[in-house]
Each structure stands twice: as structure tokens, then as C-alpha cells.
Homo-oligomer: A and B are copies of this chain.
């Protein structure tokens, strides 16, 4: 935990001031003189925002920094899952090394926290989670990593997975994941009953991948709602992707969103460009907690993406058809405060007493900062500079 005087910054693109940091927390915003021996940085009037939040990614999957992975396979979800599970070791996707690269990239681009789903299956047991835990420890002063125990290959269709999820939660995974109870698992009641039982037993929240679109996804959402009520898990469930909310049925989507708001379900979006996605503006009107994520980047699933939440903000903003400054500021909210609200991060923000986790942004306004492509001038974690001009103080392995 560090002391730092950051001079001449504009919090949320407002008036310029200095930020005084003591023991890794914001001690004051105003005008300060440097004290003897205190680290000082001049931001030259740059915008400062709290650390960006990647609230939905897969640190264990990327081929970032590895030789190019040729993808000549059909775009079938089940096929992608099985190919990855059976070939990731041979391809050389070491979960520790690759999660280091991915997480360091995110930190260098201004992120302070990551929620990462990590695959758990009967072929790998908990070994991939262990690889990412190693990364979490190695980077504990650089970026915070929360791990979702994620049954990528399914729960009911892969006997033995439930026991592994149970073990992962016992060992400290903070969140329980799930995936397409209909589409992948072929048994929605089976998967969801087990997920809620495990979550209640371990006292952890749930974050479920729901690619299921339109009526199928809406059906699964209704099953999730029923179990939230039955288990008193209001405020403790997140739905990732939630493509069903992108369907072209204004009234039905409205009813789903009403229930989402009522049960305080969080939504995670990646702005998936080629499918129908939830409208972040409609979710904002309903006061639903919404975070953003890079999802997988350059992995066996697909070639796109980079470890950069501002790049992801662009994808989400363009997909949502947003154009005004106010709308762009909301996109920035989704990839920062929105994600923090989903992850329930304590001490997040730029107020006195908050954690000194933030990033400088280039640009005149928040909207300008979202579309600008320049590297982040400075990233601070726990009051310490951890990246300059897009380059972290630790090297990628």
C-alpha cells in the first residue's frame, strides 16, 4: 500500500485537481504540495477514472503471445467446446502463462479488476483454476482477479463435474459459473437445481453463461428467476451474455427486464457483434446492474479481441448504436463502475477513502476518451504506478 501525489488530473473529465494517496487509499482531492520522499506524478490535465473492470473474461484460454492458431473449424458451439478441451494442452495453452499475459495486458490498459471464468472439466480437473490462481498471486499488486468456477463443457452431460465444482468452491473460487442449461447441458432443471444447491451450500454468487437466444433463453431465464426466489438469492446472480434480451419482442423483453430488476440480477455484456444483444440503455432505464467484459480474446474459439477494456467499450458502444456524449459516458460506466457494481467491489471510486485504483485517459471529455485509441498514460493500483503509456511494470512471460 503506497503513498502518491498525483497532480493536475481531471476526475471524470471535470475540474483539474491533485489527488493525494496514503496507504493505497485516496486521502484527498484538492491542491497539495509534495511532501519529502513522496512519489509525485504530473498528469498534465489528463482525465482520471477509477480502474476499468473486465467483468467477463476467460484468462485460461487465450493464445495471446503464442504462435498464430489456425482456425479451420465450423462455428458450432459444442464443437468449439470439445475441440478446446481435447486440444488445449497439445496446442500449448498453459493456463498460468497465458493468464499472466492476458491479465498483464488488461492492467497495462487500465483495468484494476478481472472476473474470469476458468474451465473446470473432468479432463483437466482443477488444474486450469490452479494455473490462474498462480497468476492471481503473482499479480496481486498489479490487478485483482476473481475466479468463477466454470463448467465450460457442461454439468449434466459430463458426470464428475459437480464434484469438481464443489471442490473448487471449497478451495476458494469466489463465484459459481454455469452454461446454457438447455443448449449445452440438455437438462435445464438438472443443471440449475445443482447450481443453486452448490451456491447456497458455499455461500457464493452465481454467474451463468446464457448464449441461448430468443424464446429458449427467455425460458431458461424464467427457470433462473424461479430459483432465485426459492433460494433467496436476490442480488446474487449474474447472467452473462443474456442474448435473449436482444430478441425483437419489445413487450416480452420488457417483462424479462422487469423481473431482472426486481430480483437484482446483474447482466454482463460483451457487445457480441454478430448476434442480438441486450440494450445497455434499456437496462440502464430499468436500473439493472450491467458490466462489460472482453470475453475470450484470440483463442481457439475465435481470433478477435485484445486485452483492453476501452477497446471493448468501443465494441459495446458501436453495437448498441450509441453516438451522443452522454451515451458514450454510459459505455465507459459499463466497463468501470458498472462492472464494479456487478462484482460488488468495496471501496471503488474516486471519493476520499476509496482504493487508489485508477487509470488516466487521453481525450478532452469522457466520450472522447472512449473513442481515442492512444495508450493509457498512467495506471495506478493501490497507490502505485503499475503501467505507463500502455506498458506494465511487469513483463509478459
Contacts and interface: CB of A to CB of B under 8 A. Distances in A.
Chain A contact residues: over half helix, strand or loop, or mixed? loop
Copy number in the complex reads: 2
B368 A275 contact: no
A135 B20 CA distance: 49
Contact of A323 (B303, B325, B326, B364): B303
B324 A371 contact: no
Interface in A318-367: 318-321, 323-326, 328, 363-365, 367
A304 B321 contact: no
Contact of A72 (B273, B298, B301, B324): B324
Given A306-B373, A323-B303, A70 B273 contact: no
A303 B328 contact: yes
A68 to B, nearest CB: 4
Nearest to A373: B306
A11 interface: no
A71 B324 contact: yes
A317 interface: yes
A301 B321 CA distance: 12
A274 interface: yes
Contacts of A33: none
Interface string A8-43: 000000000000000000000000000000000000
A75 interface: yes
A274 B184 CA distance: 28
A328 B71 CA distance: 10
A367 B373 CA distance: 22
Nearest to A75: B323
A302 B321 CA distance: 10
A68 B274 contact: no
A298 to B, nearest CB: 7
Interface string A41-81: 00000000000000000000000000110111101000000
B306 A323 contact: no
Contacts of A67: 364
A314 B311 CA distance: 12
A328 B324 CA distance: 31
Contact of A304 (B274, B303, B314, B363): B314
17 contacts: A68-B364, A71-B324, A71-B367, A72-B325, A75-B321, A75-B323, A273-B315, A273-B318, A274-B320, A301-B323, A303-B325, A303-B328, A303-B367, A304-B318, A304-B323, A304-B371, A306-B373
Interface of A: 67-68, 70-73, 75, 273-275, 298, 301-304, 306, 314-315, 317-321, 323-326, 328, 363-365, 367-368, 370-371, 373
